[in-house]
Amino acid sequence: MKKSSIIVVLAVFVIVSLFGVNRSVHAEFIDVPSRASKEVQYLSTGGIAHGSSATTFGAEKKVTRMEAAAFIGRALQLNGKKRNTNFKDVGSGIFASGYIQSAVETGILSGYDGGRFLPYKEVTRGEMAVMLSKAFGYQFGGKLSGAANALTTRGIAKGLSDGTFGADQYIKRSDFAVFLARAINPELRTKAFSSYKKTLWTNTGDLNVRTGPSVSYASVGKLAKDVKVIGAHSIAGWTYIKSGRLTGFVSTAYLRDTEILKAERPPAEVDKRIAGQTIILDPGHGGSDPGAVGFGVREKDVVLSTGLKVNNLLKQTPFKVKMTRSDDRFITINQRSSFARKNGGSVFVSIHANASSSPGAKGTETIYYSAANPHGADSKLLAAKIQDRMVKAWRLSNRGIKSTRQLGRSLGVLNNNSVPAALAELGFITNKSENQKLKSDYWQTVMAKAIYDGILDYYKAKGYKVDSFYSIK
Protein backbone atom coordinates (compact mmCIF):
# COMPACT_ATOMS: atom_id res chain seq x y z
CA MET A 1 0.00 0.00 0.00
CA LYS A 2 1.24 3.46 -0.81
CA LYS A 3 2.19 5.57 2.18
CA SER A 4 -0.52 8.13 1.40
CA SER A 5 -3.19 5.39 1.23
CA ILE A 6 -2.09 4.06 4.60
CA ILE A 7 -2.51 7.53 6.07
CA VAL A 8 -6.00 7.84 4.59
CA VAL A 9 -7.02 4.43 5.95
CA LEU A 10 -5.61 5.30 9.38
CA ALA A 11 -7.39 8.66 9.39
CA VAL A 12 -10.71 7.02 8.52
CA PHE A 13 -10.11 4.43 11.25
CA VAL A 14 -9.41 7.17 13.81
CA ILE A 15 -12.52 9.13 12.80
CA VAL A 16 -14.70 6.02 12.97
CA SER A 17 -13.26 5.13 16.40
CA LEU A 18 -13.88 8.61 17.76
CA PHE A 19 -17.38 8.60 16.33
CA GLY A 20 -17.94 5.17 17.83
CA VAL A 21 -16.98 6.41 21.30
CA ASN A 22 -19.44 9.27 21.04
CA ARG A 23 -22.18 6.97 19.88
CA SER A 24 -21.63 4.52 22.72
CA VAL A 25 -22.90 7.10 25.23
CA HIS A 26 -25.53 5.23 27.14
CA ALA A 27 -29.13 5.71 26.18
CA GLU A 28 -30.24 4.94 29.69
CA PHE A 29 -28.71 3.79 32.97
CA ILE A 30 -30.89 1.26 34.77
CA ASP A 31 -30.29 2.65 38.27
CA VAL A 32 -31.16 6.32 37.69
CA PRO A 33 -34.44 7.37 39.34
CA SER A 34 -36.91 8.99 36.96
CA ARG A 35 -36.65 12.36 38.72
CA ALA A 36 -32.98 12.52 37.62
CA SER A 37 -33.07 10.67 34.31
CA LYS A 38 -33.35 13.72 32.05
CA GLU A 39 -30.43 15.48 33.74
CA VAL A 40 -28.15 12.42 33.90
CA GLN A 41 -28.88 11.78 30.23
CA TYR A 42 -28.08 15.42 29.47
CA LEU A 43 -24.66 15.23 31.15
CA SER A 44 -23.97 11.84 29.62
CA THR A 45 -24.64 13.19 26.12
CA GLY A 46 -21.98 15.85 26.65
CA GLY A 47 -19.49 13.38 28.13
CA ILE A 48 -19.71 15.27 31.44
CA ALA A 49 -21.00 12.34 33.52
CA HIS A 50 -19.89 8.77 33.02
CA GLY A 51 -21.54 5.65 34.36
CA SER A 52 -19.97 3.49 37.05
CA SER A 53 -20.45 0.53 34.68
CA ALA A 54 -21.82 0.01 31.18
CA THR A 55 -25.41 -0.04 32.43
CA THR A 56 -25.34 1.71 35.80
CA PHE A 57 -24.66 5.29 36.83
CA GLY A 58 -24.01 4.63 40.52
CA ALA A 59 -26.93 6.96 41.13
CA GLU A 60 -27.33 6.18 44.83
CA LYS A 61 -23.63 6.45 45.65
CA LYS A 62 -22.39 9.52 47.43
CA VAL A 63 -20.21 11.92 45.44
CA THR A 64 -16.57 12.06 46.47
CA ARG A 65 -14.49 15.22 46.15
CA MET A 66 -12.54 13.75 43.24
CA GLU A 67 -15.75 12.83 41.42
CA ALA A 68 -17.08 16.34 41.97
CA ALA A 69 -13.84 17.74 40.52
CA ALA A 70 -14.24 15.52 37.45
CA PHE A 71 -17.94 16.43 36.94
CA ILE A 72 -17.24 20.15 37.18
CA GLY A 73 -13.97 19.95 35.28
CA ARG A 74 -15.60 18.19 32.32
CA ALA A 75 -18.50 20.64 32.33
CA LEU A 76 -16.13 23.63 32.20
CA GLN A 77 -13.74 21.79 29.87
CA LEU A 78 -10.81 22.30 32.23
CA ASN A 79 -7.56 20.50 31.50
CA GLY A 80 -8.23 16.96 32.74
CA LYS A 81 -4.93 15.40 31.68
CA LYS A 82 -3.77 13.20 34.55
CA ARG A 83 -0.75 14.81 36.18
CA ASN A 84 1.04 15.65 39.42
CA THR A 85 -0.94 17.88 41.76
CA ASN A 86 -0.30 20.21 44.68
CA PHE A 87 -1.51 17.49 47.06
CA LYS A 88 0.37 14.61 48.61
CA ASP A 89 -2.79 12.46 48.66
CA VAL A 90 -3.53 12.95 44.94
CA GLY A 91 -0.95 11.18 42.80
CA SER A 92 -0.85 11.56 39.03
CA GLY A 93 -2.39 8.08 38.74
CA ILE A 94 -5.72 9.11 40.27
CA PHE A 95 -8.32 9.36 37.50
CA ALA A 96 -9.34 12.92 38.39
CA SER A 97 -5.84 14.25 39.21
CA GLY A 98 -5.88 16.62 36.22
CA TYR A 99 -9.33 17.98 37.01
CA ILE A 100 -8.43 18.37 40.69
CA GLN A 101 -5.31 20.37 39.83
CA SER A 102 -7.19 22.52 37.28
CA ALA A 103 -10.09 23.16 39.66
CA VAL A 104 -7.67 24.22 42.38
CA GLU A 105 -5.73 26.50 40.03
CA THR A 106 -8.92 28.20 38.92
CA GLY A 107 -10.06 28.61 42.53
CA ILE A 108 -13.15 26.37 42.29
CA LEU A 109 -11.84 23.86 44.84
CA SER A 110 -9.26 24.10 47.58
CA GLY A 111 -7.35 21.65 49.69
CA TYR A 112 -7.02 20.99 53.41
CA ASP A 113 -4.24 21.65 55.89
CA GLY A 114 -1.13 19.58 55.51
CA GLY A 115 -1.16 19.65 51.72
CA ARG A 116 -4.05 17.22 51.47
CA PHE A 117 -7.07 17.23 49.13
CA LEU A 118 -8.98 14.28 50.69
CA PRO A 119 -10.08 12.91 47.28
CA TYR A 120 -12.27 10.16 48.80
CA LYS A 121 -14.10 12.47 51.21
CA GLU A 122 -17.81 12.64 50.48
CA VAL A 123 -19.36 15.96 49.49
CA THR A 124 -22.26 17.57 51.39
CA ARG A 125 -25.08 19.55 49.78
CA GLY A 126 -23.60 22.73 51.25
CA GLU A 127 -20.16 22.02 49.81
CA MET A 128 -21.75 21.23 46.45
CA ALA A 129 -23.52 24.61 46.52
CA VAL A 130 -20.19 26.40 47.12
CA MET A 131 -18.44 24.41 44.34
CA LEU A 132 -21.16 25.18 41.80
CA SER A 133 -21.33 28.86 42.83
CA LYS A 134 -17.59 29.20 42.29
CA ALA A 135 -17.64 27.20 39.05
CA PHE A 136 -20.43 29.26 37.51
CA GLY A 137 -19.43 32.60 39.03
CA TYR A 138 -22.45 33.17 41.29
CA GLN A 139 -21.99 35.82 43.99
CA PHE A 140 -22.40 34.06 47.34
CA GLY A 141 -20.49 36.19 49.84
CA GLY A 142 -18.13 33.36 50.69
CA LYS A 143 -20.80 31.75 52.87
CA LEU A 144 -22.48 28.38 52.65
CA SER A 145 -25.89 29.95 53.17
CA GLY A 146 -25.13 32.41 50.36
CA ALA A 147 -24.23 29.56 48.02
CA ALA A 148 -27.41 27.66 48.92
CA ASN A 149 -29.36 30.82 48.20
CA ALA A 150 -27.56 31.35 44.87
CA LEU A 151 -28.70 27.90 43.74
CA THR A 152 -32.29 28.08 45.01
CA THR A 153 -32.99 31.54 43.56
CA ARG A 154 -31.83 30.26 40.16
CA GLY A 155 -34.04 27.20 40.29
CA ILE A 156 -31.00 24.88 40.39
CA ALA A 157 -31.66 23.39 43.83
CA LYS A 158 -34.68 23.28 46.12
CA GLY A 159 -34.70 23.19 49.88
CA LEU A 160 -35.73 20.02 51.67
CA SER A 161 -39.25 19.31 52.89
CA ASP A 162 -38.26 20.51 56.38
CA GLY A 163 -37.59 23.99 54.96
CA THR A 164 -33.79 23.80 55.30
CA PHE A 165 -31.22 23.37 52.55
CA GLY A 166 -29.84 20.25 54.22
CA ALA A 167 -26.34 21.67 53.93
CA ASP A 168 -24.80 18.94 56.10
CA GLN A 169 -26.36 16.03 54.23
CA TYR A 170 -24.22 14.08 51.80
CA ILE A 171 -25.22 14.34 48.18
CA LYS A 172 -25.80 11.39 45.86
CA ARG A 173 -24.35 11.19 42.38
CA SER A 174 -27.80 11.45 40.79
CA ASP A 175 -28.61 14.64 42.73
CA PHE A 176 -25.24 16.19 41.97
CA ALA A 177 -25.90 15.47 38.29
CA VAL A 178 -29.32 17.15 38.51
CA PHE A 179 -27.86 20.33 40.00
CA LEU A 180 -24.93 20.47 37.60
CA ALA A 181 -27.18 19.94 34.57
CA ARG A 182 -29.50 22.72 35.74
CA ALA A 183 -26.57 25.07 36.28
CA ILE A 184 -25.49 24.44 32.69
CA ASN A 185 -28.88 24.54 31.01
CA PRO A 186 -31.58 26.94 32.28
CA GLU A 187 -34.25 24.86 30.52
CA LEU A 188 -33.75 22.10 33.11
CA ARG A 189 -34.31 24.43 36.07
CA THR A 190 -37.31 24.36 38.37
CA LYS A 191 -38.17 27.96 37.62
CA ALA A 192 -37.38 30.64 35.09
CA PHE A 193 -34.47 32.80 36.13
CA SER A 194 -33.43 35.43 33.67
CA SER A 195 -29.72 36.05 33.51
CA TYR A 196 -29.76 37.54 30.04
CA LYS A 197 -27.56 40.57 30.30
CA LYS A 198 -25.67 41.02 27.04
CA THR A 199 -26.82 42.05 23.59
CA LEU A 200 -24.74 40.21 21.01
CA TRP A 201 -24.64 39.73 17.25
CA THR A 202 -23.75 36.64 15.23
CA ASN A 203 -20.59 36.82 13.13
CA THR A 204 -21.40 33.98 10.79
CA GLY A 205 -24.33 32.37 9.03
CA ASP A 206 -25.58 28.79 9.52
CA LEU A 207 -24.67 29.08 13.18
CA ASN A 208 -25.85 26.05 15.15
CA VAL A 209 -27.77 26.62 18.36
CA ARG A 210 -27.20 23.52 20.49
CA THR A 211 -28.83 22.06 23.57
CA GLY A 212 -25.53 22.03 25.46
CA PRO A 213 -22.07 23.58 25.51
CA SER A 214 -20.26 21.26 23.08
CA VAL A 215 -20.69 19.80 19.60
CA SER A 216 -21.84 16.55 21.23
CA TYR A 217 -25.20 18.25 21.79
CA ALA A 218 -27.86 18.32 19.10
CA SER A 219 -28.54 21.43 17.07
CA VAL A 220 -32.03 22.81 17.68
CA GLY A 221 -31.84 25.55 15.08
CA LYS A 222 -29.59 27.82 13.10
CA LEU A 223 -28.96 31.55 13.14
CA ALA A 224 -28.15 33.74 10.17
CA LYS A 225 -25.27 36.21 10.07
CA ASP A 226 -25.53 39.58 11.89
CA VAL A 227 -28.57 38.51 13.90
CA LYS A 228 -29.12 40.18 17.26
CA VAL A 229 -29.35 37.78 20.21
CA ILE A 230 -29.39 38.18 23.97
CA GLY A 231 -26.77 36.28 25.91
CA ALA A 232 -26.80 34.78 29.41
CA HIS A 233 -23.95 32.80 30.96
CA SER A 234 -20.95 31.34 29.16
CA ILE A 235 -19.40 27.91 29.75
CA ALA A 236 -16.17 26.70 28.23
CA GLY A 237 -16.34 28.87 25.12
CA TRP A 238 -20.11 28.54 24.62
CA THR A 239 -22.74 31.15 25.42
CA TYR A 240 -26.37 30.47 26.25
CA ILE A 241 -28.48 32.75 24.05
CA LYS A 242 -32.03 33.58 23.16
CA SER A 243 -33.18 34.76 19.77
CA GLY A 244 -36.91 34.94 19.24
CA ARG A 245 -38.20 31.60 20.51
CA LEU A 246 -34.88 29.87 19.99
CA THR A 247 -32.72 29.24 23.06
CA GLY A 248 -29.52 27.25 23.43
CA PHE A 249 -25.76 27.34 23.26
CA VAL A 250 -23.68 28.85 20.46
CA SER A 251 -19.92 29.01 20.18
CA THR A 252 -18.83 32.30 21.74
CA ALA A 253 -16.23 32.72 19.00
CA TYR A 254 -19.05 33.46 16.55
CA LEU A 255 -20.58 36.23 18.64
CA ARG A 256 -19.56 39.86 18.88
CA ASP A 257 -20.65 42.63 21.21
CA THR A 258 -20.96 45.43 18.66
CA GLU A 259 -23.70 45.80 16.09
CA ILE A 260 -21.32 46.61 13.26
CA LEU A 261 -18.61 44.22 12.17
CA LYS A 262 -15.12 45.53 12.86
CA ALA A 263 -14.22 45.58 9.18
CA GLU A 264 -17.25 47.70 8.35
CA ARG A 265 -16.57 50.24 11.06
CA PRO A 266 -14.96 53.47 10.02
CA PRO A 267 -11.24 52.85 10.52
CA ALA A 268 -10.45 53.63 14.15
CA GLU A 269 -8.10 56.47 14.67
CA VAL A 270 -4.76 54.81 15.34
CA ASP A 271 -2.54 56.63 17.78
CA LYS A 272 0.60 56.72 15.65
CA ARG A 273 2.78 57.53 18.66
CA ILE A 274 2.23 54.00 20.00
CA ALA A 275 4.38 52.42 17.29
CA GLY A 276 7.23 54.61 18.45
CA GLN A 277 7.14 53.18 21.97
CA THR A 278 9.31 50.23 22.98
CA ILE A 279 8.47 48.33 26.14
CA ILE A 280 11.44 46.63 27.79
CA LEU A 281 10.52 43.55 29.82
CA ASP A 282 13.10 42.29 32.27
CA PRO A 283 12.47 38.90 33.89
CA GLY A 284 14.81 38.84 36.90
CA HIS A 285 17.71 36.46 37.51
CA GLY A 286 18.34 33.52 35.15
CA GLY A 287 21.02 30.97 34.31
CA SER A 288 23.32 30.39 37.27
CA ASP A 289 21.21 32.78 39.37
CA PRO A 290 17.94 31.05 40.35
CA GLY A 291 16.71 34.05 42.35
CA ALA A 292 14.66 33.19 45.39
CA VAL A 293 13.56 29.59 45.83
CA GLY A 294 10.50 28.46 47.76
CA PHE A 295 8.94 24.99 47.97
CA GLY A 296 11.18 23.89 45.11
CA VAL A 297 9.98 26.67 42.81
CA ARG A 298 12.65 28.97 41.37
CA GLU A 299 12.01 32.68 40.90
CA LYS A 300 13.92 32.74 37.60
CA ASP A 301 11.48 30.24 36.03
CA VAL A 302 8.31 31.90 37.29
CA VAL A 303 9.30 35.41 36.19
CA LEU A 304 10.50 34.22 32.79
CA SER A 305 7.27 32.43 31.93
CA THR A 306 5.21 35.35 33.19
CA GLY A 307 7.40 37.80 31.23
CA LEU A 308 7.01 35.76 28.04
CA LYS A 309 3.23 35.94 28.45
CA VAL A 310 3.38 39.76 28.78
CA ASN A 311 5.60 39.79 25.71
CA ASN A 312 3.02 37.78 23.73
CA LEU A 313 0.26 40.23 24.66
CA LEU A 314 2.31 43.30 23.70
CA LYS A 315 3.28 41.70 20.39
CA GLN A 316 -0.38 41.84 19.35
CA THR A 317 -0.34 45.65 19.58
CA PRO A 318 1.57 48.35 17.67
CA PHE A 319 3.88 48.71 20.71
CA LYS A 320 7.36 47.37 20.19
CA VAL A 321 8.59 45.01 22.88
CA LYS A 322 12.04 43.73 23.80
CA MET A 323 13.11 41.36 26.57
CA THR A 324 16.41 41.53 28.44
CA ARG A 325 16.22 37.74 28.44
CA SER A 326 13.76 35.37 26.83
CA ASP A 327 15.41 32.16 27.95
CA ASP A 328 17.23 30.78 30.97
CA ARG A 329 20.46 32.78 30.87
CA PHE A 330 22.46 34.86 33.29
CA ILE A 331 22.73 38.62 32.67
CA THR A 332 24.31 41.20 34.93
CA ILE A 333 22.52 44.11 36.58
CA ASN A 334 24.54 46.54 34.45
CA GLN A 335 23.55 44.74 31.25
CA ARG A 336 19.92 45.03 32.30
CA SER A 337 20.00 48.73 33.15
CA SER A 338 21.85 49.67 29.96
CA PHE A 339 19.57 47.46 27.83
CA ALA A 340 16.82 50.08 27.54
CA ARG A 341 19.23 52.76 26.37
CA LYS A 342 20.91 50.47 23.84
CA ASN A 343 17.59 49.19 22.48
CA GLY A 344 15.66 52.44 22.23
CA GLY A 345 13.44 51.56 25.18
CA SER A 346 10.62 53.81 26.36
CA VAL A 347 9.69 52.13 29.64
CA PHE A 348 11.34 49.34 31.60
CA VAL A 349 9.43 46.73 33.60
CA SER A 350 11.36 44.27 35.72
CA ILE A 351 9.53 41.16 36.97
CA HIS A 352 10.43 39.44 40.23
CA ALA A 353 9.03 37.34 43.05
CA ASN A 354 9.62 38.32 46.66
CA ALA A 355 11.17 36.21 49.40
CA SER A 356 11.46 36.35 53.15
CA SER A 357 12.82 34.19 55.95
CA SER A 358 9.43 34.66 57.58
CA PRO A 359 6.93 32.25 55.94
CA GLY A 360 4.10 34.64 56.87
CA ALA A 361 5.47 37.49 54.72
CA LYS A 362 3.00 38.07 51.90
CA GLY A 363 1.65 40.40 49.28
CA THR A 364 2.34 42.23 46.05
CA GLU A 365 4.47 45.35 45.71
CA THR A 366 6.07 47.47 43.02
CA ILE A 367 9.29 49.41 43.39
CA TYR A 368 10.50 52.51 41.55
CA TYR A 369 13.41 54.91 41.75
CA SER A 370 12.61 58.56 42.33
CA ALA A 371 15.65 60.48 43.47
CA ALA A 372 17.73 62.53 41.05
CA ASN A 373 16.22 60.84 38.03
CA PRO A 374 14.50 62.86 35.30
CA HIS A 375 11.98 60.01 35.03
CA GLY A 376 11.15 59.81 38.73
CA ALA A 377 7.52 60.93 38.38
CA ASP A 378 6.89 58.68 35.40
CA SER A 379 8.53 55.74 37.15
CA LYS A 380 6.17 56.25 40.09
CA LEU A 381 3.18 56.48 37.74
CA LEU A 382 4.23 53.28 35.95
CA ALA A 383 4.69 51.48 39.29
CA ALA A 384 1.30 52.66 40.56
CA LYS A 385 -0.56 51.52 37.44
CA ILE A 386 1.08 48.08 37.39
CA GLN A 387 0.60 47.60 41.14
CA ASP A 388 -3.08 48.47 40.93
CA ARG A 389 -3.71 45.87 38.22
CA MET A 390 -1.62 43.18 39.92
CA VAL A 391 -3.48 43.53 43.22
CA LYS A 392 -6.83 43.25 41.44
CA ALA A 393 -5.63 40.19 39.52
CA TRP A 394 -4.29 38.02 42.32
CA ARG A 395 -6.04 39.67 45.29
CA LEU A 396 -2.99 39.29 47.52
CA SER A 397 -2.18 41.82 50.26
CA ASN A 398 -1.42 45.22 48.80
CA ARG A 399 2.04 46.23 49.99
CA GLY A 400 1.80 49.30 47.81
CA ILE A 401 4.40 51.04 45.69
CA LYS A 402 7.72 51.91 47.24
CA SER A 403 10.64 54.02 46.15
CA THR A 404 14.08 52.47 46.49
CA ARG A 405 14.73 55.14 49.14
CA GLN A 406 11.72 53.98 51.22
CA LEU A 407 12.87 50.43 50.75
CA GLY A 408 16.35 51.36 51.95
CA ARG A 409 17.91 49.47 49.08
CA SER A 410 19.73 50.56 45.98
CA LEU A 411 18.50 48.57 43.01
CA GLY A 412 20.87 49.08 40.12
CA VAL A 413 18.35 47.84 37.64
CA LEU A 414 16.17 50.86 38.55
CA ASN A 415 18.70 53.45 39.75
CA ASN A 416 20.90 53.21 36.68
CA ASN A 417 18.08 53.06 34.19
CA SER A 418 17.69 55.74 31.56
CA VAL A 419 13.90 55.45 31.12
CA PRO A 420 10.86 55.28 33.44
CA ALA A 421 11.33 51.99 35.28
CA ALA A 422 9.41 49.84 37.73
CA LEU A 423 10.13 46.51 39.39
CA ALA A 424 7.12 44.30 40.09
CA GLU A 425 7.26 41.81 42.96
CA LEU A 426 4.37 39.52 42.07
CA GLY A 427 4.15 37.79 45.45
CA PHE A 428 6.22 35.85 47.98
CA ILE A 429 7.69 32.62 46.68
CA THR A 430 8.39 31.72 50.33
CA ASN A 431 4.70 31.99 51.25
CA LYS A 432 2.88 28.68 50.78
CA SER A 433 -0.29 29.96 49.17
CA GLU A 434 1.37 32.70 47.09
CA ASN A 435 3.86 30.11 45.88
CA GLN A 436 0.92 28.11 44.49
CA LYS A 437 -0.16 31.07 42.40
CA LEU A 438 3.38 31.90 41.29
CA LYS A 439 3.97 28.42 39.87
CA SER A 440 0.52 28.04 38.29
CA ASP A 441 0.33 28.52 34.55
CA TYR A 442 -3.24 29.78 34.92
CA TRP A 443 -2.32 32.43 37.50
CA GLN A 444 0.78 33.45 35.55
CA THR A 445 -1.52 34.19 32.60
CA VAL A 446 -3.80 36.24 34.83
CA MET A 447 -0.80 38.16 36.16
CA ALA A 448 0.67 38.73 32.70
CA LYS A 449 -2.60 40.34 31.62
CA ALA A 450 -2.49 42.54 34.72
CA ILE A 451 1.05 43.76 34.01
CA TYR A 452 0.12 44.31 30.36
CA ASP A 453 -3.02 46.26 31.29
CA GLY A 454 -0.98 48.22 33.84
CA ILE A 455 1.44 49.29 31.11
CA LEU A 456 -1.54 50.38 28.98
CA ASP A 457 -2.94 52.30 31.99
CA TYR A 458 0.37 54.15 32.20
CA TYR A 459 0.20 55.14 28.54
CA LYS A 460 -3.45 56.09 28.87
CA ALA A 461 -2.55 58.39 31.78
CA LYS A 462 0.11 59.91 29.53
CA GLY A 463 -2.58 60.72 26.94
CA TYR A 464 -2.14 57.84 24.50
CA LYS A 465 -5.17 56.18 22.88
CA VAL A 466 -4.86 52.59 24.06
CA ASP A 467 -8.48 51.64 24.83
CA SER A 468 -8.77 49.07 22.05
CA PHE A 469 -5.81 47.06 23.34
CA TYR A 470 -6.95 46.10 26.85
CA SER A 471 -7.01 42.39 27.69
CA ILE A 472 -9.75 42.96 30.28
CA LYS A 473 -12.48 45.12 28.76
Residue 331 CB, nearest distance to Zn ion (Å)? 13
Residue 353 CB, nearest distance to Zn ion (Å)? 6
Q: 348 to 387, contacts with Zn ion by CB under 5 A?
A: 352
Q: Which is nearer to Zn ion, 142 or 359 (CB)?
A: 359
Q: Which is nearer to Zn ion, 74 or 352 (CB)?
A: 352
Beta bridge partners of 280: 322, 348
Please say whether the beta carbons of 103 and 85 come within 8 A. no
Task: Select from 327, 311, 343, 366 the least CA-distant residue to 419.
Answer: 343
b/e per residue, 29-49, with b = 16+ CB within 10 A?
bebbeeebbebbbbbbbbbbb
Q: Which is nearer to Zn ion, 181 or 351 (CB)?
A: 351
Stretch that binds Zn ion, among 69-77, 193-201, 280-288, 307-315 (CB under 5 A): 280-288
Binding-site residue total for Zn ion (CB under 5 A)?
A: 3
Single-letter amino acid, residue 65: R
Q: Which is nearer to Zn ion, 291 or 427 (CB)?
A: 291
| One of 126, 284, 286, 454 touching Zn ion (CB under 5 A) | 284
Q: Which is nearer to Zn ion, 130 or 386 (CB)?
A: 386
* 73 belongs to the binding site for Zn ion (CB under 5 A): no
b/e per residue, 248-279, with b = 16+ CB within 10 A?
bbbbbebbeeeeeeeeeeeeeeebeebeebbb
- For 125, other C-beta atoms within 10 Å of its C-beta total 25
Stretch that binds Zn ion, among 23-31, 78-86, 103-111, 290-298 (CB under 5 A): 290-298
The β-bridge relationship of strands 398-403 and 421-428 is unpaired
DSSP class of residue 60? T
Q: Which is nearer to Zn ion, 25 or 333 (CB)?
A: 333
Alpha carbons 64 and 139: distance in angstroms, whole number = 24
Q: 293: buried, middle or exposed (CB in 10 Å: 19+, 13-18, 0-12)?
A: middle
| Site mask for Zn ion (CB under 5 A), range 161-180, x = bound | --------------------
* 427 belongs to the binding site for Zn ion (CB under 5 A): no
Residue number, nearest CB to Zn ion: 352
Residue 204 CB, nearest distance to Zn ion (Å)? 47
Q: Which is nearer to Zn ion, 265 or 409 (CB)?
A: 409
**Phi, psi (degrees; rounded to nearest 5) at 365:** -145, 160
Residue 285 CB, nearest distance to Zn ion (Å)? 6
Q: 387 to 426, contacts with Zn ion by CB under 5 A?
A: none
Q: Which is nearer to Zn ion, 58 or 284 (CB)?
A: 284
Q: Which is nearer to Zn ion, 367 or 391 (CB)?
A: 367
* 286 belongs to the binding site for Zn ion (CB under 5 A): no
Who's near 405: CB < 8 A, 6+ residues apart? Answer: 370, 371
Q: Which is nearer to Zn ion, 291 or 307 (CB)?
A: 291
Alpha carbons 86 and 97: distance in angstroms, whole number = 10
Please say whether the beta carbons of 414 and 404 come within 8 A. yes
Residue 289 CB, nearest distance to Zn ion (Å)? 9
Task: Select from 293, 275, 263 the least CA-distant residue to 464.
Answer: 275
Residue 369 CB, nearest distance to Zn ion (Å)? 16
* 307 belongs to the binding site for Zn ion (CB under 5 A): no
Stretch that binds Zn ion, among 26-34, 193-201, 279-287, 356-364 (CB under 5 A): 279-287
Q: Which is nearer to Zn ion, 284 or 286 (CB)?
A: 284
Residue 434 CB, nearest distance to Zn ion (Å)? 14
Alpha carbons 316 and 319: distance in angstroms, whole number = 8
Stretch that binds Zn ion, among 171-179, 181-189, 286-294, 365-373 (CB under 5 A): 286-294
Please say whether the beta carbons of 173 and 59 come within 8 A. yes
Residue 141 CB, nearest distance to Zn ion (Å)? 37
Phi-psi region of 3 (alpha: psi -120 to 50; beta: other; left: phi over 0): alpha
- For 159, other C-beta atoms within 10 Å of its C-beta total 13
DSSP class of residue 422? E
Alpha carbons 448 and 7: distance in angstroms, whole number = 41
| Site mask for Zn ion (CB under 5 A), range 236-275, x = bound | ----------------------------------------
Residue 280 CB, nearest distance to Zn ion (Å)? 17
| Site mask for Zn ion (CB under 5 A), range 334-353, x = bound | ------------------x-
Residue 306 CB, nearest distance to Zn ion (Å)? 12
* 283 belongs to the binding site for Zn ion (CB under 5 A): no
Task: Select from 251, 189, 180 the least CA-distant residue to 217.
Answer: 251
Q: Which is nearer to Zn ion, 119 or 291 (CB)?
A: 291
* 80 belongs to the binding site for Zn ion (CB under 5 A): no
Q: 94 to 133, contacts with Zn ion by CB under 5 A?
A: none
**Phi, psi (degrees; rounded to nearest 5) at 185:** -115, 110
| One of 286, 291, 294, 427 touching Zn ion (CB under 5 A) | 291
- For 142, other C-beta atoms within 10 Å of its C-beta total 10
Catalog residues that contact Zn ion under the rule CB under 5 A.
Answer: 284, 291, 352
